[in-house]
Amino acid sequence: MKKQSILMAAICLLNLLLPLASLKAQSKPNTPTIFNELARKDSLLFKAVYDCEVDKIDGILSKDFMFYHDGGYFGETSSESFGQFKTNLRSNFCDKGIKVKRQLVKGSLQVIAVNDEKATQTGVQRFYMDGKLMEESKFSRVWHKQKGEWKMTQELDYLVNTKFASRPDNNSLYNEIAHMDSVLFNAFNTQNQETIKNVFDPSLEFYHDKGGLTNYVQNIAATKNLFASNNGLNRKLVEGSLEVYPIKDYGAIQIGEHTFCHKENGRDDCGTFKFLHIWQKKDGVWKITRVASYDH
C-alpha cells in the first residue's frame, strides 16, 4: 500500500508538473496578465467555496475538472470529479454549517504560461477553522482557456500538513488511531488480506446489528470470500466523523461513520453506517479487539 500511495501521488504530480520542464525555454513565468487573472480566479473560487455559493464555481472549474488530494506516505491519494467536488462541498461543509477560512501564503503564488491557452499555477495555502490553523498544503493547478474564459481542469494538493489540527487532550492518540484506520481500510480497499490479519487481534469479537456476533476466524474467512467475489467494494471514512477516546492502561475507543460503495448495474451503490472500534496497544503495536457495526 505504501508503494501504491506514493506512486499515485507521484503520477498526479508528474502529470501536472513535468510538461512544464520541457516547455521552460518558451514559457514565461508570472506573465502579468495571466498571473493577475488566475489570482483573481483563485480568490473567487475560495470565496464561492466558503460562502457556500456552490453554483458560482461553475464559472471557474471546467466540467472535466479533477481534484487530487495526496494522503501522505501511508494514506491513499483521493480523487474527485467536478460533480463529486460540488457534492462533497455541500455535504461536508455547507449542510453542516462548518465555516473554514483559506489563506494563500503571501508571495507563494506562481504562474507559468505554457501558451496563450494553457497555464500552470502553484502556491502554498493554509486552512483555518474557528480561527485555528488546521492544515497547510502546496497546490498545483492546470488552467485552460475555454471560449475566452480561464477554467481550472486539475488540482493536486500535496505535502499536506495537518499537524496543527487540535483534538482535546489527545492529539497524539487521535493521530495514531486515524493512521491505523487508514492502514486497515487501505488494505480493505486493495484486498490486502495479510494486513487485515495483522490489524485484527486473534481475540476479535465483531458485533453486527444485522449479522450478530462473529470471531476472528469467521471475519478473516468473510473478507477472503468478499475479495474473491471481486465486486469492487470500497470504503471511505466520512470526513469529520472520527472521534477518539483513551482507555486507561489498554488503548483507545474509535467512533465514526463510513461509506461503502460498489458497482451495481453500472452505477455506484453506496451505504453509510456507524462503527465503534476498540483498539489495544501491546508492545507498541495497535490491534483491534472489538468491533461494533450498526445503523444498517
> Measured between alpha carbons, how far is 235 from 241 in angstroms, rounded to an integer?
14
Using one digit for the tens of pLDDT, what is the confidence trace for 206-251?
999 999 999 999 999 999 999 998 778 999 998 878 888 999 999 9
Give the list of residues 6+ apart from residue 87 with CB closer than 8 angstroms, or none.
none
Q: What pTM did the predictor assign?
A: 0.50
Q: Extract the residue ranges of the chain whose pLDDT is less than 70.
A: 1-31, 72-75, 130, 163-171
Which residues neighbour 256 within 8 Å (Cβ) at sequence distance 6 or greater?
181, 237, 238, 241, 242, 243, 274, 275
Beta pairing class for 149-161 and 61-69: parallel
Q: Dihedrals φ, ψ of 167, to 5°?
A: -130, 135
Q: Read off the pLDDT of residues 120-147 as tens digits, 9 standing for 90 and up.
A: 999 999 988 767 788 889 999 999 999 9
